[in-house]
Amino acid sequence: MTRNIFLTASFLIIILYSLTFENTKMVGFFFYLILPLIFYMFFRDDVSEAILNNKKLIVITFILSVAGIAYDYYDDFPWKALSYSFAGKDIDLSRDWTYDSVERVAGFFRTSYDAATGVILLLILILYRSKNVLLNHILFVITFVCVYITTTKSCLISVALIYVVYMVEFVKYRGRRQIIYWLMTALSCFIVVLPLGLVVNLQIPFLSNESFKDRILNTWPFVINQFTSTFQYILGLGVGSVGTSQELFGNPNLMSTGDNIFLYLYANIGALAFGLFFLVYRRVLNVNHNIFIYLMLYLLSYGITANIVESTLCQLILAIIFFVPFNLVKKDEQLNPAYETSH
C-alpha cells in the first residue's frame, strides 16, 4: 500500500511539473498512448484469463501471423503503404519501408517490429501451455525465421535467449535460477549504461551495425543533451517529452523516439524510472514462473534498442509482468490447471 501511494504521488508531481512548461496536448496524448496499459491494469484478471487460457485462439493467431509474414515476404498486401491523418500527421496503416535496400516485412501487423513482437508473444503463450518438446522446437524455428524475415535484429537475440532458458529448464539444470538472474541483471545493465554513453565501442552480435551505431552516436546523446538542470535530472524532461507526443504536439526539432526503454522512461518520468526498474528487479527475485521469465527476457533484450512503452503489444506484456499474481498457487491453478507448481 505504501509503495503504491508513493508511486502515485511521485507520478502526480511529475505530471504537474510537466504541465508547467509543456502544452496539455503533449501530456494528454502520452496518457492516450498508454490507455491499453491502464485498461490491462484495471482488468488484469479478465485479460489474463482471456489471454492465458484461450489456447485455440492463440494457436490460430500464431498460424495467421506466420502466414501473413510469409505472404508479405513474396508479395504486398493491398493495404500496404496506405495511411490516415491524425493531428495533422499522416499515420501509416501498414508501413512500407526498407533499410539498406532490404524490405521490412510486416505481414498483418502495422510495422515489421510489431510483427516480430507479435509472433514472439504468441510463441511464449503457446510455450506456457504446450508440453510437446518436438512441437516447441519447431515453433522456435518458425518464430526465428519469421523474426529474421522482419529484419528486427534485437528480437532475434530475444528468441535466442528465450530458447537458451527453455533448454536450461528442459534439462532441469540446478543452476537455472542463477543463470536467469545474472542474465536479466546483465540485460538491465545494458539498458541503462548504453544510452547514458558509458559504453560506446561495444560489439553485440546482430546489433553491431549502422543503425545500432547511430543510436549510440546520435539518437541517445540527442536526448541526454536535453537534460540541462538539476530538476530535469530528478524529474525528467516532462511527460510526453520523448516519443510520439513530442512529434505530434511539441517541437519537431526536439523529437526523438528514444529507442531505449530506460531512456524513454527517464526522459518522461525522471528518477521514477529507477523505481520501476527496482520493482522489476524485485519481481525477478520473487517470481519463478516460465511465462514471466520469457516475457522479461524479451522486454529486457528488445528494450535495449526500442521504445516499447508506446507499443500496444508490449503494453500487454508489461501488464502481464507487473499485474498477474504468478506466485499465488490459486491463481496459477485458475490460469493453467496443467501447470506444475514444482516448477
User: Does some domain include residue 341?
Assistant: no
Give the domain extent around 108.
Answer: 2-333
Distance (Å, whole) CA 108 – CA 172: 37
Give me the pLDDT at residue 143, please. 95
User: Does some domain include residue 338?
Assistant: no
User: Does some domain include residue 343?
Assistant: no
Q: How many domains does the chain have?
A: 1
Q: What is the DSSP letter of 20?
A: T
User: Does some domain include residue 342?
Assistant: no
User: Does some domain include residue 73?
Assistant: yes
Give me the pLDDT at residue 145, please. 95
Global pTM reads 0.83
User: Does some domain include residue 236?
Assistant: yes
Give me the pLDDT at residue 331, please. 40
- Block means of pLDDT (10 residues each) for the chain, 343 residues, are 67 78 79 85 76 84 92 78 63 62 76 89 89 92 93 89 86 72 84 75 56 78 87 86 82 76 89 82 75 88 87 84 60 41 37
User: Tell me: the pLDDT tens digits for 245-274?
Assistant: 887 887 777 777 778 888 999 988 888 888
Q: State the DSSP H helix or E strand holding residue 66, giving kind and residue range, or none if neither.
A: helix 55-74
Distance (Å, whole) CA 125 – CA 53: 9
Give me the pLDDT at residue 31, please. 86
User: Does some domain include residue 340?
Assistant: no
CA of 101: how far to CAs of 24, 133, 152, 219, in Å? 40, 38, 15, 22
Can you tell me whether residue 313 is helix, strand or coil?
helix
Give me the pLDDT at residue 97, please. 62
Among residues 5, 10, 42, 2, which one has the least CA distance to residue 268? 10
Give me the pLDDT at residue 339, please. 37
Alpha helices in 75-170 (DSSP H): 112-129, 133-150, 153-170
